[in-house]
Amino acid sequence: MTAFGRPGPRSRRLRGYLKRRDAASPDERAALDAACMGRLFRRRAVVFTDCADFTVRTLRDGILHFLMVFHAAVDGVRTVVRRTGGVVVKVEADSLLLVYDDASRACAGALAVEAYLRRFNRQRTAHEQARFSYGIGYGDLLDLEGDIFGLEVNLASKIGEDLARPGEILLTPAAASNLSAALKRRLQRHRPVRFHDQSVAVRRLRASGR
């Protein structure tokens, strides 16, 4: 394990570039960054999921009980993500980071995960159910082996964890603008989120038939 995901060609390429950038003068770095964009970044959609009431449930039921439920849910979620064309980049605490080729596929994946969780929960008592919220971003990202970095990752994490309610799928402006026409018709305005000193418009994906 390295500071940038698992060892691999993309991680090695990034580490090599960072060494060259560190050796360059500050005036040269903007040009270096522009020249390397195509080699380091890939345009991707990212889905950040957050599990509802992690701290409260851990306090109430204990960490082992929470992890039992989460582990059982994630086993099925992995299959759903793979079937919808996505990749589970990593599982961290009570969150998953997923990547798709575009925002429309990311929305389809999040909807499929939510449908799976509804089926999963019908078979379980209230204390053994899993509920996710979702944040979706889209843009040029450092897509490495076992990790992914970029502003849209940060924004997706922010809206998925701090703003979205259980079962709710929220999108950044970049993700919303990348959707198919059919999915754009299902977008609703949501209250904006403050990100540093900026207000970021957020859109909510309305489930089909609602």
Q: What is the pLDDT of residue 61?
A: 81
| Burial per residue of 86-96, b for 16 or more beta-carbon CB atoms within 10 angstroms, e otherwise | bbbbeeeebbb
Evaluate whether 90 touches 58 at the Cβ level (below 8 Å): no
What pLDDT does residue 92 have? 87
What is the per-residue pLDDT for 88? Answer: 94
Q: What is the pLDDT along the chain (210 residues), one digit of tens a residue?
A: 556 667 788 888 888 889 999 999 999 999 988 888 888 899 999 999 998 877 787 888 889 988 898 999 999 999 999 999 999 999 888 899 999 999 999 999 999 999 999 999 998 888 888 999 999 999 999 988 888 999 999 999 999 988 999 999 999 999 999 999 999 999 998 887 777 778 888 999 987 655
The C-alpha torsion from 144 through 148 and 150 to 153, rounded to 10°, is 160
- What b-and-e string marks burial along 1-20, b requiring 16 or more CB atoms within 10 Å of the CB? eeebbeeeebbeebeebeee
Q: What is the pLDDT of residue 66?
A: 85
- pLDDT for 40: 87
Closest CA to 77 of 47, 19, 116: 116
Q: What angle do CA 61, 65, 68 make, to 5 degrees?
A: 155
pLDDT tens digits, 126-168 = 888 899 999 999 999 998 888 899 999 999 999 998 899 999 9
User: What structural domains does the chain harbor?
Assistant: 1-37 (no CATH), 41-205 (3.30.70.1230)
How much is the pLDDT for 2?
Answer: 59
In this predicted structure, what is the pLDDT of residue 5?
63
